[in-house]
Structure 1
Amino acid sequence: MSTKEFLVHFKEYLLITLGLLGYVTGWILFLLPNNLIGGGVAGISSIIQYATGIPLGYPYFIINIALLVTAFFVLGKGFGGKTIYAIVLTALGLNLGQGIVPYDIIESLALKNGKLLCTIMGGILSGVGIGVSISQGGSTGGTDIVALIVNKYRNVSPGRMILLIDVVIMLSSLLVPSYMADGTLMPWADKITTVVYGFILVTVSSTVVDLYLSGSRQSVQVFVFSQKYAEIADAITNDFHRGVTVLDGKGWYTKHSMQVLMIITRKTDLGVLLKYINSVDSSAFISVASVTGVYGKGFDMIKNGKKKKINS
């Protein structure tokens, strides 16, 4: 493995780790202290913890093992390796975090702020964590794996797919007894309220996932008008390692012919691109526009589902 490849993998695993830290924090500080339930394997595991007292990290890990078999065959070994890392780290974090975080912190952040605020905060943190993990090719397991499998063959947003699956999990919690932190059985009315908060939680979480992924994958189209177009094109190609297309243009007011550079890049890389252009020609005229989609090498691929046979 070259140094460049090592740094790429290191960055991916570092971002996955940071994402999982946010995911675990959302559960430990805001969701579990209020007996809130979410979706996916974490939601199922939380239902088990409230009913039996078994820390949710254990069922979370065990349930995900079965799903990993599918991930290996459908999504590839690279995804499987990152997902194993994510699942193990998340399971450890969920179990250890419940014993490490002082009660005073949990009381001040969760118990005194009300369930609605905790639901929103927990949904935001868990959504960002899932989004970061998915963007780097990993997953926290469960419905994330199912969503990525569907997304591989159909153009369905991961967040929406996760939301649909989680509805079933939320409703199933009504069939299982739930014990609160003091050992008392949660009343039926409170369970219904908890399910309502659960729907809010998965809605917030899935929305955040979609917002994060669409933002990180959004592309921009840049046109550059400059007398130093050749130097700018060389800098972008050789240093920034992005493709450049040179178009023939003509200024109608001056009637002078000119060359126009067209560059398509990720929105997250736009700031660096503009710095390269400015370093060569600070007076260059630049136009930036968002594009609906970019398909091809280095960007998104067109997903073709199986063709349906039409009987005549």
Structure 2
Amino acid sequence: MTIDRNMIWQETKDYFNITLGLMLYTFGFTVFLLPYQIVTGGIAGIGAIIFYATKFPVQWTFFIINALLIVAALKELGIKFLTKTIYATVVITVMLDLAQKVVEQPDGTFYKLMGEGNDFMSLIIGCMLTGTALAIVFLNNGSTGGTDIIAAVVNKHFNVSLGKGLIMVDLVIISSCLAIDTFGEFPQRCQMVVFGLCTMVIECTMIDYVMNVQRQSVQFMIFSKDYKKIAEAITRKTDHTLTILDGHGWYTGKEMKVICLLAKKRESVLIFRLIKMIDPRAFVSQSSVIGVYGEGFDPIKVKIKKNKEHEQELQQQQQDNTTAPARTATAATRK
């Protein structure tokens, strides 16, 4: 049995980055959100609401609900994805427990790093940290569990970003504050909901921003007389396929070849370096693209409508394609 070292290295890298993301999430949630009784979305938000109302530890609410969701989503997401989710759930449960002990004061309250009256500023900083942390976890094929699992299921089947998927679930969680009397009078509960909506928007915006920056793709148009050497170097170093287009210089009147290449933005420096090493005089155009779908990039997530009318249209097209050669042959015979 051969051991794939690249796979082992990739898995090790994923778990290392997931751990860093969980540490960042724990820091942002425990230091900036929990001491100011700011309600967030997700299972952490449910745990926070229960903690504010009953003092039941956040980490244990987080662990219990995640365990139930993981069992329910095992068939849908697969064991490989959920293995990292189980790891993240256990690690973040331990981290939340340790972090709360660090920030807890002798009187049982939490130390407020930003001071009194700076609830909204603490909200902004905390959500920027937790949103970035969740994006790091997602980008390394992991999940912190909870509503992330629900959002991942939605993202798997529909063209809905993870941020938007979390928004739909978090709206229900945050709005539940209005029905809990222990949070004070109705105006105070409304304020908690408004703050919760702000956390949701900031956190989900950070998730989409960080993930889109990492996934952003660009298109290269490379004009060079050494196009063969450049094409070979790019395919060898990046494992990308490319297309050679036929070009015609208007001013010179000469025929030339143009390399068309789609790549990740983070690969731009490497591609420019390869081009410059082979042909410093090459003319290169780089442009951002809205989306790239297919092998090596994002999958196409739209569903094909399967109804009777669509099937009839396909059958009619097949019949037309079949009878067209016969009609052509008949016309030629008549001539």
Same fold (TM over 0.5): yes
Alignment of 1:143-154 (within 5 A): 143-154=147-158
1:139 to 120, 143, 156: 143
Which residue in 1 is equivalent to 2:71? 69
The offset of 1:90, in angstroms, is: 1.4
Paired residue secondary structure (1:294): coil
* Bigger Rg, structure 1 or 2: 2
Structure 1 residues 243 and 123: alpha-carbon distance in aligned structure 2, compared to 1, 3 A threshold: same
Q: Tell me which stretches of 4 or more aligned residues in structure 1 moved more than 4 Å.
A: 185-188, 308-312
What is the Cα-based RMSD across aligned positions, in Å? 2.2
User: Aligned equivalents of 1:251 and 1:54: distance in 2?
Assistant: 73
- More displaced stretch, 251-260 vs 106-115: 106-115
Q: Does 1:155 align with 2:159?
A: yes
Change (3 A) 1:16 1:228: same
- Contact 2:31 2:112 (8 Å CA) reproduced: no
How far apart are residue 74 of structure 1 and its match? Answer: 0.5
Superposition map of 1:213-292 within 5 A: 213-292=211-290
Identity percentage of aligned residues: 38
Report the count of equivalent residues.
305
Partner of 2:16: 14
Measured after TM superposition, the shift of residue 54 of structure 1 is 2.2
Partner of 2:130: 126
The corresponding residue for 2:89 is 87
Cα shift readout 1:244-303 (whole Å, capped 9, x = no counterpart):
222221211111111111111112222222222222222221101111221211111112
Bigger relative CO (Cα 8 Å, ≥ 6 apart)? 1
The question of whether the paired residues in 2 share the 8 Å contact of 1:72 and 1:80 is answered with: yes
Contact 1:41 1:60 in 2 (8 A): yes
The whole-number CA distance in structure 2 between the counterparts of 1:292 and 1:5 is 30
Aligned to 1:181: none
User: Helix, strand or coil for the counterpart of 2:271?
Assistant: helix
2: CA distance, partners of 1:92 / 1:34: 22
Q: What displacement does 1:73 show?
A: 0.6
Deviations for 1:32-90, whole angstroms, at most 9, x for unmatched residues?
01011100100000111112222211110110011112332111111111111111111
Give me the whole-angstrom Cα distance separating, in 2, the residues matched to 1:87 and 1:145.
11
Contact 2:36 2:112 (8 Å CA) reproduced: no
Q: Which letter maps to 2:9?
A: L
For normalisation by structure 2, the TM-score amounts to 0.85
Within 5 Å, which residues of 2 pair with 1:36-75?
Answer: 36-75=38-77
Matched residue SS, 1:38: coil
Which runs of 5 or more residues in structure 2 are unaligned? Answer: 311-335
Alpha-carbon distance in structure 1 between the residues aligned to 2:5 and 2:235:
21
Match of 2:207 in 1: 209
Offset, 1:310 = 6.4
Verify the 8 A CA contact 1:15 1:132 in the aligned structure 2: yes
2: CA distance, partners of 1:234 / 1:305: 37
CA distance in 1 between counterparts of 2:100 and 2:301 reads 42
